[in-house]
Amino acid sequence: MTRRGRGLAPCLGLALLALAACGRKAPPVAPEVRAPQRVADLTGAVRESAIELSWTPPDRRVDNTRLRDLALTRIFRVEDGGSGEPKAAMLVDGRIAGYAEVASIRAVEPASAVARGSRLVFTDRQGLAYGRRYTYVVVAGDSRGRIGPPSARVSVTYVPAAEPPVDLVAEGGEREARLAWQAPAQLIDGSAPTDPLAYEVLRAPSVDAELTPVTRAPITERALTDRGLENDRTYYYAVRAVRVVAGTTAYSAPSPRVAVTPRDMTPPSPPANLVAIASEATVRLTWSASPESDVAAYIVYRAAARGAFERVGSTRAPTATFVDRDVARGTYRYAVTAQDSAVRPNESGRSNEVVVSVP
């Protein structure tokens, strides 16, 4: 080898080492670390004649990075007689060993699930039998086929729900709706209830809008006053019966809806300090305005010395004066009331009375 060749060899070796170092890759990320996180809040209940599952789809991967390509949710079920612990949930090759798959929900077209806010809801009606226990597990997968760990098991004993409550009536009050109803006579399988029922009161802002619960938990009373409503706005209510049997909650279908419109039923304060000044064929009245902000008008009443009051005129608030013209000679009594701006106006009591003689 020439001197020139011997000089090039170390340089080439260093260059090759540098290239090897630059091309070295980081250790691969394990597929299970990049899989979606487990569904953390799976719940189940009997709803009418089916079992309803609800959960929040995961938005993170197991390594806590953002999950943007959730592609699939698979629901697995196992059935038993209800004694002992349910079958363990072991994930094997993307499936839960010993469980049957009852649904596969694709994110692009979740035809078998319904979105309710941030949660998905799936209704299972497949081969249910009263008295049997059904245990569910949910797994989520991304667009590359990576399957996350199974959710916690949720067990539901399939029991008959009650029929809907009956005779729901509603009465509007001041910013409130007063509701009352009767218990259903039987369960949907025709048997009589043998355990106490609770009730979930539901409300909707329009006749075809979704009903949502009014209270955080079902109540045992068969009456409820829903307060804090908006006057002169119509609300729609229904009630459903709730059974709790063997750790399972069973909801009836909602009762037929009823409509109720709260009303402003509080009249303003009466005007005060009414003063009358008479002149020929004329009486000029002034008074102190009522303090309420919703006063829309003042109504003026006149009576003969011993007669009944009759309405003779009105003014729009905030005007607090009135001139009664073409008044025949004689002695008269006057009073004024305030009227608010409600759809069905409320009228106050009368102000102090004044007596004048028209010359």
**Predicted pLDDT of residue 30:** 62
Q: Give the pLDDT mean for 186-212.
A: 94
Is 170 found in the same domain as 153?
Answer: no
pLDDT band of 15, cuts 50, 70, 90 = very low
Mean per-residue pLDDT of the chain: 90
Q: Closest by alpha carbon to 301, among 336, 353, 274, 345?
A: 336
> Are 146 and 61 within 8 A, CB to CB?
no
Burial (CB count within 10 angstroms: exposed 0-12, middle 13-18, buried 19+), residue 332: buried
Q: Are residue 60 and residue 138 in the same domain, yes or no?
A: yes
Does any domain span residue 18?
A: no
Say if 23 falls within a structural domain. Answer: no
227 and 312 belong to one structural domain: no
Are the C-beta atoms of 183 and 165 separated by less than 8 Å? Answer: yes
Q: Is residue 344 part of a domain?
A: yes
pTM for the predicted model, two decimal places: 0.75
Has residue 9 been placed in a domain?
A: no
346 within domain boundaries: yes
Do residue 90 and residue 171 come from a single domain? Answer: no
Q: Can the peptide bond before residue 318 be classed as cis, meaning omega within 30 degrees of 0?
A: yes
**Are residue 141 and residue 39 in the same domain, yes or no?**
yes
* Six-digit token string for 133: 């226990």
What is the rounded CA–CA span in Å between residue 121 and residue 259?
Answer: 28
Confidence band of 19 (pLDDT split at 50, 70, 90): very low
Residue 107 sits in the same domain as residue 132: yes
Are 47 and 153 in a shared domain?
Answer: yes
Mean pLDDT of 171-192: 96
User: Is residue 319 within 8 Å of residue 339, measured between CB atoms?
Assistant: no
Unique residue bearing structure tokens 């199974």: 150
- Are both 49 and 93 inside the same structural domain? yes
User: Would you say residue 25 lies in a domain?
Assistant: no
* Residue 228 and residue 197 in one domain: yes
> Which residue, 265, 264, 287, 288, is CA-closest to 275?
287
Number of structural domains in the chain: 3
> Which has the closest alpha carbon to 203: 174, 175, 230, 226?
226
3-state secondary structure of 340: strand
Q: Is 319 found in the same domain as 209?
A: no
Q: Is residue 12 part of a domain?
A: no
Q: Give the torsion sign (CA, 281, 316, 273, 265).
A: positive
| pLDDT, tens digit, 9 for 90 and up, residues 53-86 | 999 999 999 999 999 999 999 999 999 999 999 9
Residues 214 and 236 in one domain: yes
Distance, in Å, from the CA atom of 293 to the CA atom of 321, rounded to the nearest integer, reads: 18
Each residue of 319-357: pLDDT tens digit? 999 999 999 999 999 999 999 998 889 999 999 999 999
DSSP bridge pairs for 147 = 141
- The enclosing domain of 334 has a CATH number of 2.60.40.10
Whole-angstrom distance, CA of residue 61 vs CA of residue 80: 33
Note down the domain range covering 219. 166-260
